Chain A
Amino acid sequence: MLGKLDWSAIPFDQPIPLVAGAMVLVAILGVLTWVVVKGHLPYLWSEWITSVDHKRIGVMYILLASVMLLRGGSDAIMMRIQQAVAYQSQGYLPPEHYNQIFSAHGTIMIFFVAMPFVIGLMNLVVPLQLGVRDVAFPTLNSVGFWLTATGALLVNVSLVVGEFARTGWLAFPPLSELSYSPGVGVDYYAWSLQISGVGTLVAGINLVTTVLKLRTKGMNYLRMPMFCWTTLASNLLIVAAFPILTATLAMLLLDRYLGFHFFTNEAGGNVMMFMNLIWAWGHPEVYILVLPAFGVFSEVVSTFSGKALFGYRSMVLATMAICVISFMVWLHHFFTMGAGPDVNAIFGIASMIIAVPTGVKIYNWLFTMYGGRIRFATPMLWSVGFMVTFIIGGLTGVLVAVPPADFMLHNSMFLVAHFHNVIIGGVLFGAFAGFEYWFPKAFGFRLDERWGKAAFWFTFLGFYVTFMPLYIAGMLGMTRRMQHYDVAAWRPWMIVAAVGMAVLTIGVICQIMQLVISIRNREALRDRTGDPWDGRSLEWATSSPPPVFNFAFNPDVRGEDAYWEMKAHARQQSFEHEELEYQDIEMPRNSPTGFVCAFFAAIMGFALIWHIWWMVILGGIGAFATFVVFAWRDHDEYVIPAEEVARIDRINIEERRSLVSMAGAV
């Protein structure tokens, strides 16, 4: 009846996951009760859960990412403590538990923190920057978000029901095959990635189409803000690369569920085919993550330097070059696995070539700052911190891209330091920069600068104290993923890294404090103008938070830095909107499709993991029925009458007037 599921699945003998799980459960139940008792449920349902507004969906993506960052961060703290104490002893985490933690940490950080964070930022900002009212496929967008959330849910369920994979974040066979991992851990891993992978693909298709097909008047390709370009490149990569991941995991699942032999040791299976395929997705994936971050930095650096982005066209070219070259380097992840010198040399050279367009971008940002009047607000601090940090990470990347060097460094702590250097210093700093930069746009009030700066400095310092020792430990020969070790020389570095982790944690606490304090002081921090940073692109041309329809009139773009030009224009002539005729606006209706689909997907995923076949069928039918109902819907849009549009827009114009006159006075 319940497949493999019985009471032995709950780890009663392991206090840590059980207590953690119980705490999370209590927290969730607490929040739910509060919501229901306070009567917020209808609001939550109609304004958020069923919302197809790209801004709301973007915010929900970022919320998901932030919550999962705390989960992944707890894993990280546990691992750093383990390695600090497990010298010539077993530490406090038994091997099977430690292995689950590092696997969950990597999986969560890449798929459920970094991905939703950047996708959330793109969702929130790109339609605003393009001057349009919505994304191309609003309901699909909501489906994508909820499927991603389903994947995250399944990973967290594994904490208390069953176990997670012990295979590392990419589940290499033969270890991940049934003969070596008979438990449900790998199944949790694979099904959560399959489900959230569909969500990611959907988000990718949606955003590519949005950038290609929905741009306001005059917004031709070479006038798009840089963030839109990196969004385009990143989502093209999603559309091209994620099917590879899906297919590879599907083959692994066929091996595990139906006795196939794609990647087994016996019966003609080929383990190396998994390596090859997973990295053919894996390398593009790192650029899927970092390109949007590059876009954020481009926006932030140019805004806070008060200058147009230096070398805009070279930046576009570099972005698109990275988009293609990222498909030509994947073998550098398995140089040591026997491809031989010819193949290694070619892929090594390609890997070094990909560092060139990345370098171009660094110079562009530096020259944008050069001669500018720089304001070191929090988003700018994250950007400058990124430039310094990312250069180090890029250089060590080029180092491990030299095959002979990689034979020494592969799978060592040096590699661990490299990729945290680029992912934290690149993607996470970018995500935080974007968060600080666009928060006032999303919510209508600024974030507290003092706590923001404290968060930056603690995170920045904490990063260096945590990860620079790992480079050294790697060069002293320490391999990654060690549950315990006996080499005295490594010990001090592990202790320093644990101290660094404490500093990083303070950074995270500051970030939370910043949010709390800012929400409390929101009236004082209110952004009435819609343009708190003196921005350059169209998202600042509308109010904060923007009305559902974003713009009463689709802006008419006459050059790069569209809003900057409008402002210059407006100073001379004052706003001319007055005479314009407001019109009715049609917006897509809210739809529970995404949530309901994800609900059934969660049931199906859980049932698949535990081999509960009747429940699989139930979930499958439910998801399909939801789709059919959605496809046969009659009304998908509602109308906002012209008077309402006019009323909302006039308020915005009034506020802006005062800004212009104030700016004129300066």
Chain B
Amino acid sequence: MSDQTHVPAGHDLAPGEEEQHSVGTRILGYVVGLALALLLTATSFFIAGTDLVWQPSIPVALIVLAIAQMGVHLVFFLHITTGPDNTNNVLALAFGLLVVFLVVGGTVWIMAHLNANMPPMDQIMRMQ
């Protein structure tokens, strides 16, 4: 971790702040991000309604596009980069992802078992 020895106040970069870039470069960054985001959104809507591709692949394609969309947001708008001053942000993101993975994954797994073991009353009646 490179940013261990911060002098408090003043010299700190708030998460996502980039001091050294000029306004022009920053605006360019946001414009590129916006364009990519719009492109991905448009593609999703197009794919959802089209019959040009093999139908079962559509959900997969949508998931891929959604993940790409998240990536674009993280890089262009939330400024998650691999730069040395970004270790905290990357670690925080990793921790967040891990927790989401554990909670969502665990929930799906638990709920599937609960549903299998405890179906609603009318379903139990039908089984008998």
Q: Does A525 count as interface, using CB distance less than 8 angstroms?
A: no
Contact of A133 among B5, B9, B110, B114 (CB under 8 A): B9
Q: Return the CB mask of A214-245 against B: 1 if under 8 Å, else 0.
A: 11111111000000000000001000100010
Complex Cα gap A272–B95 (Å): 27
Contact between B8 and A214 (Cβ–Cβ < 8 Å)? yes
B4: interface (CB < 8 Å) = yes
Is B118 in the interface zone, CB < 8 Å from A? Answer: yes
Asked if A221 meets B103 with Cβ closer than 8 Å, knowing A213-B12, A276-B110, A343-B109, the reply is: no
- CB of B8 within 8 A of CB of A132, answer yes
**Contacts A217-B5, A331-B110: A212 and B103 contacting too (C-beta < 8 A)?**
no
- A324 proximal to B (CB < 8 A): yes
- Asked if A273 CB lies within 8 Å of chain B CBs, one says yes
Distance from B58 Cβ to chain A, minimum over Cβ atoms (Å): 26
List residues 29-70 of chain B with CB under 8 A from any CB of chain A.
none
A221 to B88, CA, bound (A): 12
Contact A339 B98 (CB under 8 A): no
Chain B residues, Cβ within 8 Å of A277: 107
Quick one: closest B residue to A221, CB to CB?
B4
When the two chains form their complex, are residues A272 and B114 in contact, meaning their CB atoms are under 8 A apart? yes
In the complex, the answer to whether B95 meets A240 with C-beta atoms within 8 Å is yes
A280 touches B88 (CB 8 A): no
Enumerate chain B residues within 8 angstroms of A273, measured Cβ to Cβ: 111
Give the distance to chain A from B16, nearest Cβ to Cβ, in Å.
13
Flag if B8 contacts A215 (CB, 8 Å).
yes
A214 CB contacts on chain B under 8 angstroms:
6, 8-9, 12
Instruction: List A contacts of B75 (CB < 8 A).
Output: none
Q: Are B111 and A216 in contact (CB under 8 A)?
A: no
Q: How far is the CA of A270 from the CA of B4 in the complex (A)?
A: 47
Given A214-B12, A343-B109, A327–B103 Cβ distance below 8 Å? yes
A340 to B118 alpha-carbon distance, docked (Å): 10
Contacts of B5 in A (CB 8 A): 215, 217-220
In the complex, whether A37 has a CB less than 8 A from a CB of chain B is no
Cβ of A240 and Cβ of B96 under 8 Å apart? yes
Residue A521 at the chain B interface, CB threshold 8 Å: no
Q: Mark B93-116, 1 if CB is under 8 A from A, else 0.
A: 001101100110011011101101
Q: B8 to A216, Cβ gap below 8 A? A: yes
Q: Is B7 an interface residue (CB 8 A)?
A: yes
Which residues of B6-28 have CB atoms within 8 Å of chain A's CB atoms? 6-9, 12
Residue A330 interfacial (CB < 8 Å): yes
A330 in contact with B106 given A132-B8, A220-B5 (CB within 8 Å): yes
Residues of chain B lying within 8 A (CB to CB) of residue A132: 8
Judge if A524 is at the interface, Cβ distance under 8 Å: no
Find out whether the CB atom of B117 lies under 8 angstroms from the CB atom of A133.
no
Name which residue of chain B comes closest to A341, CB basis: B113
Question: Which residues from 79 to 99 on chain B have a C-beta closer than 8 Å to any C-beta of chain A?
Answer: 88, 95-96, 98-99
User: Is B124 located at the chain interface by the 8 A CB criterion?
Assistant: no
Q: What chain B residues lie within 8 Å of A240 (beta carbons)?
A: 95-96, 99
The answer to whether A340 and B117 touch (CB under 8 A), given A276-B111, A331-B110, is yes
15 contacts between A and B (CB under 8 A): A132-B8, A214-B9, A215-B5, A215-B6, A215-B8, A218-B5, A220-B4, A244-B103, A270-B111, A327-B102, A338-B118, A339-B114, A342-B113, A554-B7, A586-B9
The 3 closest A-B pairs by CB, nearest first: A220-B4, A338-B117, A240-B99
Which residues of A are at the interface with B, using a C-beta cutoff of 8 A? 132-133, 212-221, 236, 240, 244, 270, 272-273, 276-277, 280, 324, 327-328, 330-331, 337-340, 342-343, 554, 586
